[in-house]
Amino acid sequence: MAIRRGRGVAAINYPTGMNLGGDPTQALVHSTPTGNFMVTLSSVDLGQGMKQIMAQICAETIGVPTDRVVVDTADTDTGPHCMGTFASRGTHRAGNAVIQAAKEARQVMLEVAAEELEVNASDLETDGQGNILVKGAPQKSISIFDVALSAHFKRGRSISGRGMFLIPRSYPEKETGAMKPSTCYAHACTVAEVEVDDETGEVTVLTVKNIFEIGRALNPKMVEQQLVGGSWMGISHALYETTEPYYPNRDHGGTDFNQYLMPGPGDLAQTEIIVLERPSADGPYGAKGPGEMCANPQIPAVANAVFDAVGVRIDTLPITPERILRALKAHAAN
């Protein structure tokens, strides 16, 4: 009997969004009388940071500081249509819709500023700090605050825009069934190192090294946090989480979340995250969707590491000590 060490590798790709009726999302953007901007969505922030990312995208497109943008996720009765927050689609679909709406609002803003400065709108640019400047003559400028006041109380203009991102639906070819379920894919590779006690079946994950290709990290720190948390979730899926009991009798199953088995802080492995940026051609500023993918490659990587350690393949999750011991017993009997 011994503690055996193994290493496992797994690589995946993951589609951003889905191919279902075009997978549409709409967005509305409008200016307040004081030059702040409101983004209205029906996409829901589940804690992954969608509001922050949509504010960044809107601010970058219009040319204002991020703190001048407020994101209202409203609800499905009062907000523009959205298919939902799932399928790792939030940043990609809603972000593209926000860009369209923000571009339209920006154009109206520049037109009003052009009237105030008595120049052509095409001769204007923003400085990212809340001002609109004449190209080549920055001393001739006007604040977005003043432009918004003029639009509302002098020019009778609504600085607003509408956006909708819609991917043409891909239908299967009758002869082959081939289709294009997504326009962009994120990718990941995980290397896991484990120790397996071949007497008790207990698995200890020592290290998990993850590489994620996510298009472009619009907020690097938030991306890192999501990928680290996802890596821990993947380990939990691989070794702990199940709604079924560990023994044949369902009476041994948990009855509530207090009895639902998950790893604690002492069970988490040393985790390394590397982000590769390969911008997507149709992503908002190159972004893809890393949301669900970040918890996927750890599962097969851990399973492969267990196989490398003790020579038995566990193909049912979670990979519990009982299943490892049964597999070892069956392997020894053959």
**Alpha helices (H) in the chain, listed in sequence order:** 50-62, 95-117, 144-150, 220-239, 298-310, 321-333
* Tens-digit pLDDT profile for residues 232-251: 999 999 999 887 655 567 77
- Work out how many domains the chain is built from and give that number: 2
pLDDT higher than 60, residue 39:
yes
What pLDDT sits at residue 290? 83
Nearest to residue 42, comparing CAs of 88, 90, 87? 90
What pLDDT sits at residue 81? 87
Is 73 part of a structural domain of the chain?
yes
Q: Taking the C-alpha atoms of 241, 242, 246 and 247 in order, what is their torsion angle to the nearest 10 degrees? A: 180
The model carries a pTM of: 0.90
Q: Which residues, including other chains, have CB under 8 Å from residue 259's CB and lie 6 or more apart?
A: none
Q: Residue 140: which region, alpha, beta or left (left: phi > 0; alpha: psi -120 to 50)?
A: beta
Is 311 part of a structural domain of the chain?
yes
| Upper half-sphere CA count for residue 242 (Cβ side, 13 Å) | 15
Is 171 part of a structural domain of the chain?
no
If asked whether residues 139 and 268 sit together in one domain, one would say no
If asked whether residues 12 and 41 sit together in one domain, one would say no
Burial of 8 (0-12, 13-18, 19+ CB in 10 A): buried
Is 172 part of a structural domain of the chain?
no
Per-residue pLDDT averaged across 210-218, rounded? 95
Distance CA 309, CA 292 (A): 28
What pLDDT sits at residue 265? 84
What is the CATH classification number for the domain harbouring 210? 3.30.365.10
Percent residues over pLDDT 90 in the chain: 71
pLDDT higher than 60, residue 168:
yes
pLDDT band of 261, cuts 50, 70, 90: confident
If asked whether residues 49 and 11 sit together in one domain, one would say no
If asked whether residues 158 and 228 sit together in one domain, one would say no
If asked whether residues 104 and 225 sit together in one domain, one would say no
Distance CA 15, CA 187 (A): 9
If asked whether residues 53 and 97 sit together in one domain, one would say yes
pLDDT higher than 90, residue 256:
no
If asked whether residues 269 and 295 sit together in one domain, one would say yes
Per-residue pLDDT averaged across 238-266, rounded? 77
Is 174 part of a structural domain of the chain?
no
If asked whether residues 329 and 186 sit together in one domain, one would say yes
Per-residue pLDDT averaged across 290-316, rounded? 94
Higher pLDDT, 264 or 28: 28
Residue 53 belongs to domain spanning: 25-165
Distance CA 234, CA 230 (A): 6
If asked whether residues 82 and 225 sit together in one domain, one would say no
Tokens (6 digits) for 104: 């339209």
Show which of 140, 165, 190 is a domain's final residue.
165
Show which of 108, 136, 165 is a domain's final residue.
165
